[in-house]
Amino acid sequence: MKICQSPIFCLLAVSFLPLWSAVLPQERPRVEYPQAGEVLQGVVTIRGTTRTVGFVSAQVAFRYDDPEAETWFVIHTTQQAVDDDVLAVWDTTTITDGDYQLRITVDLKDGRQLTTEVPALRVRNYSAVQPEPVTVQPGTSERFTLDGMQAPAVASTLTATVVAPNPLQITPQRLAVSLMMGLAGAVVLFAGIGLYLGIRAVVRRR
C-alpha cells in the first residue's frame, strides 16, 4: 500500500513541515503545585504539565534561590509526558532549610528546551515558619480589637510584582502571519497538484 500517491504532493508536504513547526508556538511546561512563596515540609508532590508538541523528555530540578547559585540538583528525569498530573516527588527532609527554586525543563525533538521556574519556595522542616514581610503604610485610621480593647492599627499594603509578558503567547500579529503563511502554502500546494494533473493528462493523450 502506497502512503503517498503523488510524488509532487509528498514533496510539497515534507517541504512545509519545518515551516509549520517554526510558526506554531510551543507551550512551556506548567507547575500547578507548589507555587512561589509556599512553605514546603516533608515529602512534596510536584504537580503540573509537560505535554507539548515535539516532547522528548522532561527534568525536574532545584537549586538555592540565590542569583549567584549555578548548580541545579536533579529530582527526577522522565521520557513520559505528563498532563496535569504528578511531575516528581521531592523529599525536602534530605536538604537543609532555606529558600529554593524549582525548574521544569522539557527537551524537544528539534533540540530546543522549554523551561519553567518557580522561585521563593521556603523549605522549613527544622526551623520555625516566619511570616512573609509586609509593606505597611502608617497614618491610617483603621482600628483592630485586641483582648476586647480598641487600639490604632496600620493598613498593610502589598507590593505587587510586575510579571513580564509571556513571549510564547499567541498575539493577533502572530495569528495573522500564521494564516497568511497557511494560505500561501495552500495556494502553492494546489498549484503543484494542478500542474501534476495537467502534465499527467498530456502524457496520457500521447
Q: What is the pLDDT of residues 147-156, one digit of tens each?
A: 444 444 444 4
Q: Measure the CA–CA gap between 161 and 159, rounded to whole angstroms.
A: 7
Alpha-carbon distance of 201 to 65, in angstroms, equals: 69
Q: Which whole number is the average pLDDT over 104-119? A: 96
| pLDDT at residue 147, rounded to an integer | 45
Q: What is the pTM of this model?
A: 0.54
Q: Which of 34-43, 131-140, 166-175 has the lowest mean pLDDT?
A: 131-140
**109 pLDDT exceeds 70?**
yes
Helices marked H in the chain? 7-23, 172-205
Q: Is residue 16 scored above 60 in pLDDT?
A: no
Lowest mean pLDDT among 98-107, 140-149, 157-166: 140-149
Residue 49 predicted with pLDDT over 50 = yes
Burial 61-85 (b: 16+ CB within 10 A, else e): bbebbeeeeeebeebeeeeebbeee
